[in-house]
Structure 1
């Protein structure tokens, strides 16, 4: 017999927030979401898509938005709890029931449902590797360029390669390479200036 607590995982503190979580549930019940249980806790779905989940933790209880990355978050409530693990999940944490403003919570949930209806999701990053023969040729001629390029994260390397290779004509590709070579050498990512 294994103990129950092993299953509860992130809900192991649910009991200490019982009243608060029930209050959150009562708010969510006013929306069109359907409550299900996944991973041992309440998860609310819209047409089988996970929209929000609830959980109690040691120091707070939280509502999380599975695609929270798309919420406008005008009230600056959301945090990205696990930056590395998930790109889109956002948590809204509370440490007392008084912090739960029903109107605000409903506004966020309705926006999350609307986003779900519009099919906003982060497309899984199954990016094909891009090979730029032309850039490779440049790097073969210029070892500094090669070592500078290799210092970039794979994502930034990908942005450069995508930028070069989305050009249809070779001469455009070459002019794009001319543009990015100084950036690469200066260790400036393609989109750094917009970030």
Structure 2
């Protein structure tokens, strides 16, 4: 890993890291050995090929992970890719809890990264389900009929945000619970916010926002 290939913003990020510092640095070296461009996106190190996102390093309380943007297209010969939630369609993680795990998997990780690069070179895309393929729950449709402005606001959201809401509203088995979920998020939808968007404008999924406006850095 040469200094000319590292990104100053990532240097700064790592210099302030209080947890997973050694793991971040080890993963960084492995990824850069695969000839990717280091960038800093979404408050984390991100690695690209011809300006296309290939893999990102991000951490949570219990683990640090490599996140492959099109991980669903990888063969996953070792069965190590993880789908964060059932709603995530394209991305997949490889998780670690200590630096030794990363070191022992270096060869495998590089193979996965190179495969991800080949996927991008081939122009392959994950076939995403459009939100229209999901059945809109009756409770949400009733609110659309009752509040045309609410329906307009919902349809103005990005497809991904619409999909997340539809899946979340549809999960409960009881109608009363589904109705309660819809009611709870009416104002957030009217404000143009996604399910996981903090009202401060940051995503609650980002490590620097805990959902109560306490931005952890």
**TM-score, normalised to structure 1's length?**
0.56
Tell me which residue corresponds to 1:27.
30
The alpha-carbon deviation at position 122 of structure 1 amounts to 1.5
What aligned pairs does 1:135-150 form with structure 2 within 5 A after superposition?
none
Tell me which residue corresponds to 1:80.
83
C-alpha distance after superposition, 1:12-39 (max 9, x if no partner) = x953101111000001111121111111
Tell me which residue corresponds to 1:116.
120
Structure 1 unmatched ranges of 5 or more: 1-10, 130-195
Q: Which of 18, 21, 24 is the matching residue for 1:15?
A: 18
Aligned length: 117
Give RMSD over aligned pairs: 2.2
User: CA 1:91 to 1:14, structure 2 compared with 1: closer, same or farther past 3 Å?
Assistant: farther
- After TM superposition, what 4+ stretches of structure 1 lie above 6 angstroms from structure 2? none
Tell me which residue corresponds to 1:91.
93
**Is the CA contact 2:47–2:54 (under 8 Å) kept in the aligned structure 1?**
yes
1:39 paired to 2:53: no
Aligned equivalents of 1:116, 1:27: Cα separation in 2: 19
Q: Which of 61, 69, 91 is the matching residue for 1:58?
A: 61
Aligned equivalents of 2:85, 2:40: Cα separation in 1: 21
Structure 2 unmatched ranges of 5 or more: 1-13, 134-217
User: CA 1:15 to 1:121, structure 2 compared with 1: closer, same or farther past 3 Å?
Assistant: farther
What secondary structure sits across from 2:20 in the alignment? helix
Bigger relative contact order (CA 8 A; separation at least 6): 1
**TM-score, normalised to structure 2's length?**
0.50
Q: Which of these two proteins has the greater Rg computed from alpha carbons?
A: 1
